[in-house]
Amino acid sequence: MTRQDRLCGVITPLLTPFERDLSIAQQLYHQHAAECLANGAHYLSPFGTTGEAASHSVAERMAALEALVVSGAARPDQLMPGTGLCSLSETLTLTRHAVAIGCRAVMVLPPFFHVNATDDGLYRYFGQLIEGVGSDALRLCLYHIPQMTRIGISPELAGRLSAAFPGVVAAYKDSSGDWQNTQAVIRAAPGVSVFPGSESVMVQAMRLGGGGCISAGCNSNVAAIRAVYDAAADGRYEVAEVLSGPVNRHRAALEGGGLIPALKSLKAHQTGDRRWLTLRPPLEDADPGVGAALAETLGRVV
Amino acid sequence: MTRQDRLCGVITPLLTPFERDLSIAQQLYHQHAAECLANGAHYLSPFGTTGEAASHSVAERMAALEALVVSGAARPDQLMPGTGLCSLSETLTLTRHAVAIGCRAVMVLPPFFHVNATDDGLYRYFGQLIEGVGSDALRLCLYHIPQMTRIGISPELAGRLSAAFPGVVAAYKDSSGDWQNTQAVIRAAPGVSVFPGSESVMVQAMRLGGGGCISAGCNSNVAAIRAVYDAAADGRYEVAEVLSGPVNRHRAALEGGGLIPALKSLKAHQTGDRRWLTLRPPLEDADPGVGAALAETLGRVV
């Protein structure tokens, strides 16, 4: 399978802007989505961790996904929404909906309340999900982020699911920041596109066959990340490494502020739209000072 | 406030039985609920951890709660359903529904995806929940189970919420198994009934003013737990301690098998109804041998 056939590229896990009453700021959301695509994202992933997915209802997520398409902000085949919840029935609801809309893929967390579930139990969960959707159009990205969910998706489980559902289990997002795990998944599941959750190890992963990256940083720096990706996808790894220098400094600056509030505060600073400062509870609103300081830092180091 | 006015007692976090197709086995569920009450439970808590709450959809939880009442298995004022999800809007939906039905109280987890939320962020979440429900009839039990949710409800946060919403923040379930935490909450939130998640420390907690217990063990041993409670509620602590001996041995035997599968397997053994062996993924079905062995152990040690 060539890179063209596989799910590969630079994927923006979209921030979700809110009105003061905490409803989704639709127009601002669509504008941000369209900008990310225009600036080089291959795909958008609404309702990942960066998009505060867990703080949305099932109904809100389906409505927001439809509105992204209807507004013209994105085509369905540019979307890989997060659809993983704790209950299989609700994960099925969101996943079937995404497939029905024509989304390129879905990104699925392990059911994250039952943190002591075994690999056999998780295999049963994902197997029933795939069989329950029952569509050849389903492409699934396993979403590994153990620092939030505690329960993760082991390389062995990824390999086992990929072998049982080849083509359907298409990708693995590794947000663990654990390079050993990233390498192990690439080895254990060779049919799967592995995406680090940070642009800082994208080239390293692509050298081993990784798919690109799905990174919060793509909300503020997608053009530069795309340039790195294009060089690496062409096999021009040395160019990619050189271009990675400022990309990595941008990423490091973001991480200093807590990714979601830092990115939202930066957006508020850059656009002058204070709605970007709002986060849903249990998170706290972003501090406007963080974005101003971050813009100054980025101007200096990048 | 006397013990009579407060939310106190022995509370069964109900197991949820399933048909082979994983739908809720309604009649079996109602029968089990009615039995727990007949055997001494003051209240039932549908959709706690023991009830595999996280593996149910919002719609399923509301329908099952209504059916418990409509079937006559329990009166609304005997119910304290779990209503805590990760999204404030869905937690509001379930909580409003429980209040509308007339439930005695609701049991609310912290929003458990955002494990790095601060106490200020959690205060904002619970405050918006209480204000969003906007009913004098709301009685809320804070549900602390950090081994599953990672994020917990600190004694300071319990005290702060209790001070801001006196009467409404009525209880705290401490499933941490950390006696230091139980004591600290009793001290920090004197208006709140603190319920350990295990009968094995119920008397100890009641001596300090604790409310009773909310324990998985009440699914298999509620009559004996109630006898301990009654003695302690009368101030006959020495009698309560003596009665606690077999209760604690029963509990210890259950813990050997993993609480949910052990309890379900024991129910299957006792009733001959194999539907009790079914768990929803990502959990695995219970091993029938565990229940048989457990029944033998209980016959020997209790």
| Class for the domain spanning A9-243 | alpha beta
Report the residue of chain A nearest B285, measured CA to CA: A121
| A223-to-A200, B115, B182 alpha-carbon distances in Å | 15, 31, 52
CA of B114 to nearest chain A CA: how many angstroms apart?
Answer: 7
The CA distance from B69 to A193, in Å, is 49
Please list every residue in chain A whose beta carbon sits closer than 8 Å to the beta carbon of residue B117: 282-283
Cα A149–A140–A106 angle (5° rounding)? 75
Please list every residue in chain B whose beta carbon sits closer than 8 Å to the beta carbon of residue A124: 281-282, 284
The pLDDT assigned to B302 comes to 84
Note whether B114 contacts A148, CB cutoff 8 Å.
yes
The pLDDT assigned to A4 comes to 57
Note whether A114 contacts B57, CB cutoff 8 Å.
no
Q: Which CATH number fits domain B9-234: 3.20.20.70, 3.40.50.720, 3.30.420.40, 3.20.20.80?
A: 3.20.20.70
Report the residue of chain B nearest A149, measured CA to CA: B113
Q: What is the ipTM of this complex?
A: 0.95
Do B38 and B243 contact (CB within 8 A), yes or no? no
Q: pLDDT under 50 in chain B at which residues?
A: 1
For chain A, 302 residues long, give each residue's pLDDT as a single digit of tens. 455 579 999 999 999 999 999 999 999 999 999 999 999 999 999 999 999 999 999 999 999 999 999 999 999 999 999 999 999 999 999 999 999 999 999 999 999 999 999 999 999 999 999 999 999 999 999 999 999 999 999 999 999 999 999 999 999 999 999 999 999 999 999 999 999 999 999 999 999 999 999 999 999 999 999 999 999 999 999 999 999 999 999 999 999 778 999 999 999 999 999 999 999 999 999 999 999 999 999 999 88
Among B100, B20, B18, CA closest to B65: B100
The CA distance from A34 to B15, in Å, is 47
The pLDDT assigned to A2 comes to 56
The CA distance from B61 to B94, in Å, is 8
CA of A222 to nearest chain B CA: how many angstroms apart?
Answer: 25
Please list every residue in chain B whose beta carbon sits closer than 8 Å to the beta carbon of residue A153: none
Q: Where are the domains of chain B?
A: 9-234
Amino acid A126 reads F
Do A25 and A275 contact (CB within 8 A), yes or no? yes
pTM here is 0.97
At B139-175, the pLDDT tens digits run: 999 999 999 999 999 999 999 999 999 999 999 999 9
